[in-house]
Amino acid sequence: MNKKVLEKYAELIVKVGLNLQKGQRLFIAAGLNTAPIVREVTAKAYQNGAPLVTVLWDDEELKKIRHQYAPRDSFEEFPEWVTTGVLENAKRGDAYLSVTGLNPDLLAGFDPELIALELKTRAKHFKPALNLISNGGVQWTVICPPTPKWAAKIFPELSEDKAVEKLWGVMKKLCRLDYDDPVSAWRKHLSDLSKRHDYLNEMQFDTLHFRGPGTDLKIGMPKDHIWKGGGSKTQSGVDFTANLPTEEVFSMPHKDRVEGTLRSTKPLNYFGNLVEDFNLTFEKGRVVEFSAKKGEETLKKMLDSDENAKQLGEVALVPYYSPISESGLIFFNTLYDENAACHLALGSAYRANIKNGLEMSDEELDAAGVNDSLIHVDFMIGSDEIDLDGITPDGSVIPLMKKGAWAFEV
């Protein structure tokens, strides 16, 4: 990649992603294979006046080594100091940047049960920190810059070097780094997204109805649900953008009011294990039937992660005609693939997607229809064949998407 592109990317991350404030510290969790962009972001952060940038390095190969050699009964072990550190940094108000470029095949072929247990253990320990961060405690951003094994998975016909180079070329478009001024291009795009969610918030649809090949799904929405998208705000009112790139507006389904069937439109990547061409049937909000052409065992393990893993926590609208979708690529990476298509997530909902969600007790959230689980796994149901209607509380039907494109003006 060239230095100019890296610099523009880093500037976008610091200004639009994190919106790092004067005097604010930055905490970065990053994979070793992403060091070039981490260095560039660190430079930009200091140039912006950050008093301290700390990086917690990880190496994905070590994860694989653990699955290869560690005792089978040791996957509930966890280094508490890591999560204590993340929580302390968040409590102090450090902005949080996650930089990953995972090899989608890293854990392919390893025991899905141990993979699930490792994730569950990790999720359990990270929960207090993630609750604070993802519910508006501080600005946070997730990015996935190109890395060799991942790029080679997307472009299997190329060598790793060539694949990385090609992926940077794609990334430039997806992150709008090919604009003269990516920062202002993003501000405009984010404002378009916010007009969309303002409209949806005003309408307060009772039900969303998705229709397409293999899909006829009615999703009940909780009372006082909130659509978000593009930019976010911390509880203290600082704007930030959690995902770069982002094309979605999203809210939460009512966990007990989902009925019908759906067919996935892209592979779901569950930590290296792909689930492809799967169908889910819902009754009273829960998955009661499932099948997959590939990876059914992984899907089953995922659905059995905990009591509420069979219920939905997110519904997101993404027009089919967006840069990511137009690239025509499958990225094997949720950050990109989820921004290519309308999607749902099994597992936890974001409390910020319902009025007063951050103040409600667990019992109140449950009563309001908010799902809580250790997992949050996105999967795609959008395509250029999907139609979506919003049904208002008084029963009027309003088209929201037709053949994958927005059907309403803002």
Site of interaction with Zn ion (CB under 5 A): 248, 250, 314, 316, 338, 345, 378
Alpha-carbon dihedral sign for residues 302, 308, 312, 313: negative
Collapse the DSSP code of 75 into the 3-class scheme (helix H, G, I; strand E, B; otherwise coil) and give the result.
Answer: coil
Residue with tokens 């991942």: 150
CB nearer Zn ion, residue 24 or residue 305: 305
**Residue 223: CB partners within 8 Å, gap ≥ 6?**
368
CB nearer Zn ion, residue 94 or residue 314: 314
CB nearer Zn ion, residue 45 or residue 267: 267
CB of 254 to Zn ion, least distance (A): 17
CB nearer Zn ion, residue 164 or residue 349: 349
Collapse the DSSP code of 283 into the 3-class scheme (helix H, G, I; strand E, B; otherwise coil) and give the result.
Answer: strand
Pairing between β-strand 258-263 and β-strand 26-31 as defined by DSSP bridges: unpaired
Q: Where are the beta strands (DSSP E) in 71-214?
A: 95-99, 140-143, 207-212
CB nearer Zn ion, residue 314 or residue 337: 314
CB of 206 to Zn ion, least distance (A): 21
Q: What whole-number distance in Å separates Cα of residue 319 and Cα of residue 399?
A: 14
CB of 313 to Zn ion, least distance (A): 8
* Secondary element (H or E) of residue 380: strand 376-380
CB of 246 to Zn ion, least distance (A): 9
CB nearer Zn ion, residue 129 or residue 345: 345
CB nearer Zn ion, residue 118 or residue 378: 378
CB of 227 to Zn ion, least distance (A): 12
DSSP string, 352-367: GGBTTTTT--HHHHHH
Residue with tokens 């770069």: 244
Q: Which two tokens stand for residue 160?
A: 């790793």
CB of 13 to Zn ion, least distance (A): 19
> How far is CA 160 from its chain centroid?
26
CB of 318 to Zn ion, least distance (A): 8
**Residue 178: CB partners within 8 Å, gap ≥ 6?**
172
Q: What whole-number distance in Å separates Cα of residue 312 and Cα of residue 210?
A: 15
